[in-house]
Copies of this chain bind each other. A is one copy, B any other.
Amino acid sequence: MFFASDNTSGVAPQIMAALARANEGWQPGYGTEAAMTRVTALIREIFEAPGAAVCLVTTGTAANALALGLLTPPWGAVFCQTRAHIAEDECGAPEFYTHGAKLVLAGGDHGRIDPGALRAALAATGTGGVHGVQRGALSLTNVTEAGTVYTPAETAALAQLARDHGLPVHLDGARFANAVVATGASPADLTWRAGVDVLSFGGTKNGCMGVEAVVIFDPARAWEFELRRKRGGHLLSKHRYLSAQFEAYLTDGLWLDLAARANRAAARLAEGLARIPGVTQRHPVQANMMFPAWPAGTHERLRAMGAEYYQDDAGARLVTSWATSDEDIDRFLAAF
């Protein structure tokens, strides 16, 4: 009964197999291997973005922080949701990679940025001339930290507010596959067609071992990104093991299949919880993460049964993954 995080699951067998295949023989490193060319081609096709540049790194924190470093100067403000991963869970990596940019928080329900809050934050920033920080970039997250998703239209509306102020847009897509599955939208509609400039496209949480693709829709910025990646120590020498993972991930729709399994598991779990008296959901369940609330004594019983998940003052966070079994879900529900 493992609901602590999608990153506590293992690596999908197709990806393990790809790593084994990639292990044959000698290959040049640092992303010059042939597999990386194929990864770029796959991403361009999937995103309908023939010019996009792609760089692989091993963590979402690196992907996000490097992307923000690319998009905003040190004196820029990065607008993000109050509970965004970049604000709460990266130990200041965005500030490190941007050389000191300021995160400006915009609230909103259910992990989403409220357009009015963003409008107010934009209006209140950069108005002091040289005395205050300038507007820098907008960073969205889809799936959000509350487990909800943005539709293409919602993404575009927020991105447009940024664009109205000349700002570029970053999308933290650590769970991008789950968002694509949940919305049924095309990758292009959820990103560049909605105004996203750079995407952190997660693999790790969705069945990879440790790889995230940074998709830079304007290739003119790619070389600077590569320098930043190297300078950050994020250019792997045996890079073939990153490209092998991502190639397998994107082949035959594996990334969507894995995410669909995770989302279905969440739906099953949510449906089960809905039938249990006294259990409520604090946010709509739309992807593979949910935040139920239940009577105080419940935690103890669940823990005793071996359930693993994060707990907060108001309830729990349950995350499903491609590896979550129906048996685990049913055992968990039965524990109530």
Contacts and interface: CB of A to CB of B under 8 A. Distances in A.
B59 A237 contact: yes
A101 B92 contact: yes
A155 interface: no
A292 to B, nearest CB: 20
A132 interface: yes
A102 B96 CA distance: 10
Contacts of A95: 74, 95, 100-102
A10 B30 contact: no
Interface in A1-27: 2, 4-5, 7-11, 16, 19-20, 23-27
Given A95-B100, A210-B241, A230 B131 contact: yes
Contacts of A233: 57, 59, 61-63, 65-66, 90, 93, 97, 232, 234
B2 A26 contact: yes
B62 A74 contact: no
23 contacts: A7-B29, A8-B27, A30-B130, A59-B235, A59-B236, A61-B233, A61-B235, A62-B232, A62-B234, A73-B224, A74-B95, A88-B131, A88-B132, A91-B130, A91-B133, A91-B230, A92-B133, A93-B231, A93-B232, A95-B102, A131-B230, A204-B237, A210-B238
Interface of A: 2, 4-5, 7-11, 16, 19-20, 23-30, 57-63, 65-66, 73-75, 88-93, 95-103, 128, 130-134, 204-205, 209-210, 224, 226-238, 241, 308, 323
Given A61-B230, A92-B231, A93-B233, 7 more contacts: A10-B26, A59-B236, A65-B233, A66-B233, A73-B227, A96-B232, A130-B235
